[in-house]
Amino acid sequence: MSNVIEIQNLTRKYGKGVAEVIAVNQLSLNIEYGEFTAIIGPSGSGKSTLLNLIGGLDNSDEGQILLAGNNLASMSGKKMSDFRRDHIGFIFQAYNLIPVLSAAENIEYIMLLQGISNAERSKRVEEMLHLVGLEGLGNRRPSELSGGQQQRVAVARAMASEPEIILADEPTANLDSKTGASLLDMMKGLNEEKEVTFVFSTHDEMIMKRAKRLIHLRDGSIERDESNTNA
């Protein structure tokens, strides 16, 4: 299996002089297509920074990231936006749906950016709503949905653009354990069924148990990289 993510000697620093913090320190990592990986570690270990760097939301100070064979450092703002749109799905801790758009419109939004035809968008919105178990709720605004339902819409939105990789930053942090487990089962199902690569940044025990690979970070470096045979 080939690598969807190849990271070499990645470093990201914040601040200057005595206030300098090395969030990610000379980190190298490969993730293959179809993996269900969790990046774990204590607060401040660099999980979210690493996820932001992989997602092209932040720029590294040293090293390089190849995502689906593309060097992120070589991309300008517009090209980077298009690349994220077409290759990466994001799921955030606080759902982050656009509140003035309905669930269906939130899912449709990214496809609109991709220039997908109206008919195709409508078809895929229905498919996605079905996939995340929200049939019939497409017209509801985020404020009319529960936290779990909103996060399902966020997953559907991330899946709608048919990305190679989905980056999920603490996706279950704001959910109760039952809803979180249900959401996780759904994402695991999508990973197995659609072979989408999932990379989580998390503290959640449930995700750690289900992830096939656990990457332990400490002070911006990989402390341990292990396969989870029980997942």
Partner 1 sequence: MLMIRQAWRNIFRNIRRTVLTCTLIASSLVVIILVDSIINSMAGLMVKGITETIEGEAQIYHSGFRDQFDPELYISDPKSIISKLDSDDEIKTYASRVIVPSMIGSSYNSDGVILYGVDAEKELNTSRLQSAVIEGDYLTGSDRELILGRLIAEKLEVGIGDRIVITSSEINTNQMIQELFRVSGIVQFGPKELDEGFAFINLSTAQRMFNIGEGVHQIAIRFNNPELANSPDLDIYKTLPSDTLEAKGWLALQPGLGAILEMTGLSTLIMGVMLFILASLGVVNSIFMSIYERTYELAVSKAIGTRPSGIASLVLLEGLFLALISCFFGIIITFILGIFLQENGLPLGHMEFSGVAFPDNLPVKLTLDQFVNFPFYVVLLTLVAAIYPAIFAARIIPAQAVQKAL
The contact set with partner 1 (CB under 8 A) reads 52, 55, 57-58, 77-78, 81-82, 84-86, 89-90, 92-94, 96, 98-101, 105, 108-110, 112-114, 157-158, 161
Closest approach of Cβ 150 to partner 1, in Å?
A: 13
Q: Which amino acid is at 140?
A: R
For partner 1, the closer of residues 47 and 210 by Cβ is 47
For partner 1, the closer of residues 56 and 214 by Cβ is 56
Q: How far is CA 146 from CA 108, 157, 186, 188, in A?
A: 20, 16, 16, 21
Closest approach of Cβ 35 to partner 1, in Å?
A: 21
Closest approach of Cβ 144 to partner 1, in Å?
A: 14
Q: How many CB atoms lie within 10 A of CB 38?
A: 25
> Is 128:156 a contact under the CB 8 Å cutoff?
yes
Closest approach of Cβ 98 to partner 1, in Å?
A: 6
Q: Which amino acid is at 119?
A: A
Q: Quote the CA–CA distance of 217 and 39 in Å, as a whole number.
A: 7
Q: Quote the CA–CA distance of 61 and 163 in Å, as a whole number.
A: 26
For partner 1, the closer of residues 77 and 136 by Cβ is 77
Closest approach of Cβ 201 to partner 1, in Å?
A: 12
For partner 1, the closer of residues 27 and 214 by Cβ is 27
> Is 83:163 a contact under the CB 8 Å cutoff?
no
For partner 1, the closer of residues 70 and 114 by Cβ is 114
Among candidates 45, 68, 44, 39, which has minimal Cα distance to 56? 68
